[in-house]
Structures are given as C-alpha cells and as structure tokens.
Amino acid sequence: MKTFRNKIPACLVHFLTGSGIIFSFLALRSVIEGNKLQAFMFLGIALIIDIVDGTLARKYNTAINFPNIDGKTLDTIIDYINYIFIPCIMLYKFEYLPQSFTVVIPIIILCISLYSYVNNKLIDISFSYIGFPSIWNVVLLYLEILSFNQSINLLIILSFIFLKFVPFKVFHPMRYNKFKKSNVALLFVTLFTSLVLLLNELELKLINDAYSYFMVLWFMLNSYFIVFVIYSNLYSFNRKNELKKNN
C-alpha cells in the first residue's frame, strides 16, 4: 500500500511534465492563427511547468517509482518543441527578421539545436549547460519586449548562434545549491515582470505610468542572472585550479 501511495505523486509529476505538449499544441495553433500574445502565454505556461517539474521529479523519485518511463527523454522532447521549434515558427510568422533571413535563420537554429540536444557532453556533472542553452523562447520574448528593428534582431540572434559554440557554462539556477532559493525567487519575479512588459508591449497598455520602473527592474533582474553566469564560471574555474594544485 505504501509503495502504491508513493507512485501516485510520481505519476502526477509525469503527467505534469507531459502536459507541456498540450501547451505546445495551443501555442502552435495561436501562431498559425496569428495571435502572438496567446502564443507567448502558452509557451510561458510550458516554461513554468519545465521550471518546477524537475524538482518535483527528484522529490517524488519518479525514476524509482516508474523505472520504465524516462522522464528526462519526455522532458527533452517537449523542451525541443517549446524552446526551439515553435519559436522558429514564430520567427518566420511574425517577421522578426529581414525578409531574406526568415527561412535560413530558423533552419540554422533548428539544426544546431537538434544536434546539441543529443550531445551527451553538452551538460556536465554539475548540471551546467555548455554554451548558449537554446532558450530561443526566452530570446524571442525579450526581442518582443525590447522592440528592436529587424536588423538588430538579426545581429542578436546571430550572436546567440555564435555563443552555441563558445564553451562557457550556464548553471541551472535551480540546481546551484549555494543560491538556489534566491535564484528561484528572482526567476519568478523576472517571469512576472516579463509578463507585464509583454502585455504592455502588445497594446494592452497596463503600466503606462510605471513602464520605466518595470523596465529598470527587468534590466536589473536580467543583469543579476548574467552576473550569476559569470560568477559561476569564475568559481568553477578557480575550483578546478584548486583541485589540480591539491592533486
């Protein structure tokens, strides 16, 4: 009976992870219908699911309770669709790029991301992603909030494509124990601030008077995570040097 009770929350976690594909379909339908706001909203819900399901899976031991279901593979399939495939369709559909690049850039992103997803050495033992972690849904959200012209968008996307091949580490904010609680809190504040700015950008105009304050807060939050990546890389580098010296 106890084993059965343990399986229930583990089963619900797998269903939670799998529900991401529902929001994939709803986001894709929104893109086809030309509803940019809905597409971002459904991708946002899928992103929140992806943020929390890993922690829940470890807490309720999904790998032990359901050894025949590979939660990591399930998560990877849904992530590729939500983080890469649908954002590439959005790049094409919503004209973020100059006309001559609307097909070639999404194809490049799809291809390099496909092979990075099957690279077993792309995530190291500290759960750090080597190079830019293919969060194209977030990149697209930020391009929407910042409202650059197509040429600037192209330069930014090319920069991130280049960063796919630069061997810096991006530590998962929810796996870095030293700052885990603060990172989680700041991450959700960043998501909320991004949502408000997105809604304001897409002509709902919720924060006309407070827009500048939200933008400053948003830049500060994102600056924190940039500094966090730099710090974690330096810390990791210094730690390796210490271990080499001790050996």
Angle at 140 between CA 138 and CA 143, to 5 degrees: 110
Contacts for 116 with CB less than 8 Å, ≥ 6 apart: 122, 131, 134, 164
pLDDT value of position 168 = 77
For β-strands 128-130 and 169-171, DSSP reports them as antiparallel
CA separation for the pair 46, 90 (Å, rounded): 16
pLDDT value of position 128 = 73
pLDDT value of position 124 = 66
pLDDT value of position 84 = 96
pLDDT value of position 126 = 61
pLDDT value of position 223 = 92
Q: What is the pLDDT along the chain (247 residues), one digit of tens a residue?
A: 556 677 888 888 889 999 999 999 999 999 999 999 999 999 999 999 998 888 888 888 888 888 888 888 899 899 999 999 999 999 999 999 999 999 999 999 999 998 888 777 777 666 677 888 889 999 999 999 999 999 999 999 999 999 988 887 777 766 667 777 888 889 899 999 999 999 888 877 767 778 888 999 999 999 988 888 777 777 665 555 443 444 4
pLDDT value of position 82 = 96
pLDDT value of position 35 = 94
pLDDT value of position 242 = 43
